[in-house]
Amino acid sequence: MRKVLSTLLLIVIGVALGGLAFEVVVRLFVPVSDPLWQWDSAVGVKLIPNLRGRAIRRGVYDASVEVNADGFRDREHVRLKPPGATRLVLLGDSFIEAVQVPFSSSIPSLLEARLRQHGINAETINLGVSGAGTARQYLILKHYGLKYRPDLVLLFFVGNDLSDNSQSLQGLSYIPYPVPDSQGSLVRDQAGRPLFTPFADQTSRLGPVAALLRHHSKGYRLVRQAIDASPNIHQLLYQARLMSTPPEPVTADPATFGFYEIYRDPYLHRWAEALSLTKDLLLEINALATENDSRFAVVLVPAAWEVYPRLWQQVLAQTPAMREASLDIDKPSRLLASFLDAHHIPYISLLPEFRERAPTAAPLYIPSDAHWTTAGHALAAELLARRLPPLLDRTTSLARVLTATETSRGRHANP
């Protein structure tokens, strides 16, 4: 028995020393992101309030991240609007959270500065959250955005918002999803508001230990990043309840094209349902903004492969079955534009001018990441600052606003 105990002790000491050596090597030579997000009882997940950290993807980006008391990447904002200020609440996903670039070079900061150059005393309030689709953006506006009494609610719509709005496509237990009826439309509660699925913080068997390591061990975070990048290992650990989050379901179905299903014509059933839910949610956000004396508008954000033809060809090469399918790369933008037009909701599509500028501009998207570079953020801010003033002028009627936004709706030529 004494020999067995001695052997076990040596093993424990060896593992501890090996782990310590690994931790030292990682801290000295391998940049690793700090933990940035945590569960939130109102909206599922958002940034850790009052965090000061770094977002790192080795060889791609390294940016400091400062989070305000509400849990968003922004400075602090007082609730009472300053006299003469024009407030814009920005809703969106990782494009608006923008941890890939310095905050001063991201759309919330640049748009505020550009609007001020146009003589508007603008104050932008960034409520972007990575992974948030239209459903969670509705909740973010309801629980966090309305308290600032915005003059304009500006929603940045990205194609993957469709799947982010669907429990059948995503199915993450710690995220709220809108409940669909048999026709794919929103189910509402007794107050007439969208009904959401139950959701809760998920803790694995190693939850307390994992939380401790996540916050204090860069070696652990490096290993976790490797697991997240390997769906098979991730799935095994999730099934053993050693991890609380499953692999991304929408990208794991071999019978479909994952995210690229948004370009299929016609949509499969679950994607058609996701589109129906998304349209209903946009109307709900519009109603919520209007009820609170705010205007609402949508910015249609193009994906990198919608802007650069060579990237679309790479997508087709990586998924050969897509070359045999009926696809329309302009479909998401065209469908949303038509819907917004029909419901008199102002929108600005960035796709035409991003395509026009792409051949001669600095790269607009980060290679191997597909988020905007600082040049992409700057171009978006420039385009929006030229087109938003009519929406921010309370003396301008909605009819004139809709006419003004027509200048942003150029023809969408195929790349």
Instruction: Going residue by residue through the chain, which has 415 residues, state the pLDDT in tens, using 9 for 90 and above.
Output: 676 666 666 666 666 666 566 555 545 555 677 889 999 999 999 999 999 999 998 889 999 999 999 999 999 999 999 899 999 999 999 999 999 999 999 999 999 999 999 999 999 999 999 999 999 999 999 999 999 999 999 999 999 999 999 999 988 889 999 999 999 999 999 989 999 999 988 665 555 555 555 555 655 555 565 555 566 665 565 555 555 555 655 544 556 788 899 999 999 999 999 999 999 999 999 999 999 999 999 999 999 999 999 999 999 998 888 988 999 999 999 999 999 999 999 999 999 999 999 999 999 999 988 999 999 999 999 999 999 999 888 667 666 666 656 554 544 433 3
Based on the domain organization, do 125 and 40 belong to the same domain?
Answer: yes
Assign 155 to helix, strand or coil. Answer: strand
On whether both 223 and 336 belong to a single domain, the answer is no
Same domain, 366 and 345: yes
3 found inside a domain: yes
- Minimal CA–CA distance to 365: which of 301, 304, 299, 415? 304
The pLDDT value given to residue 413 = 38
Please indicate, yes or no, if residue 159 is contained in any of the structural domains.
Answer: yes
Q: What pLDDT does residue 414 have?
A: 38
Per-residue model confidence (pLDDT) at position 42: 96
Whether residues 398 and 260 fall in one domain? yes
**Rounded (10°) angle between helices 218-228 and 207-216:** 110
For residue 48, give the nearest of 71, 30, 29, 32 by alpha carbon. 71
Q: Is residue 3 located within the same domain as residue 123?
A: no
How are beta strands 44-47 and 37-40 bridged, if at all? antiparallel
pLDDT for 342 equals: 97
Which of 191, 127, 196 minimizes the C-alpha distance to 156? Answer: 127
For 153: left if phi > 0, alpha if psi spans -120 to 50, otherwise beta; the answer is beta
CB-side neighbour CA atoms (13 Å) of 241: 4
Q: How far from 413 is each of 29, 108, 244, 253, 383, CA to CA, in Å?
A: 46, 29, 44, 31, 19
Structure confidence at residue 171 (pLDDT): 86
Report how many domains make up the chain: 3
- Taking residue 144's Cβ as centre, other Cβ atoms within 10 Å add up to 21
- In a domain, residue 250? The reply is no
Please tell me whether residues 352 and 330 are part of one structural domain. Answer: yes
Domain that holds residue 387: 32-199+256-408
Asked if residue 120 belongs to a domain, the reply is: yes
- Give the SS3 label for residue 23: helix
Contacts of 148 (CB under 8 A, 6+ apart): 77, 79, 81, 87, 89, 125
| Residues 107 and 179 both lie in one domain | yes
2 and 42 part of one domain: no
Q: What angle do CA 331, 335, 338 make, to 5 degrees?
A: 140
C-alpha triplet 203, 205, 206: angle, nearest 5°: 90
CATH number of the domain that residue 168 is part of:
3.40.50.1110
Quick check: helix, strand or coil at residue 52?
A: strand
In this structure, the chain runs to a length of: 415
Structure confidence at residue 252 (pLDDT): 47
189 and 208 share a domain?
no
Based on the fold, state whether residues 24 and 46 are members of the same structural domain.
Answer: no
* Numbers of helices and strands, H then E, in the chain: 16, 9
Report if pTM > 0.85: yes
Please give the pLDDT value at position 254: 54
Q: Which of 367, 332, 380, 340 is nearest to 161 (CA)?
A: 332
C-alpha 240/C-alpha 226 separation (Å) is: 18
Does residue 249 belong to any structural domain of this protein? no
Q: Are residues 181 and 228 in the same domain?
A: no
Residue 315 and residue 207 in one domain: no
Cβ(292)–Cβ(285) under 8 Å? no
Helix pair angle (374-387, 107-117), 10° resolution: 40
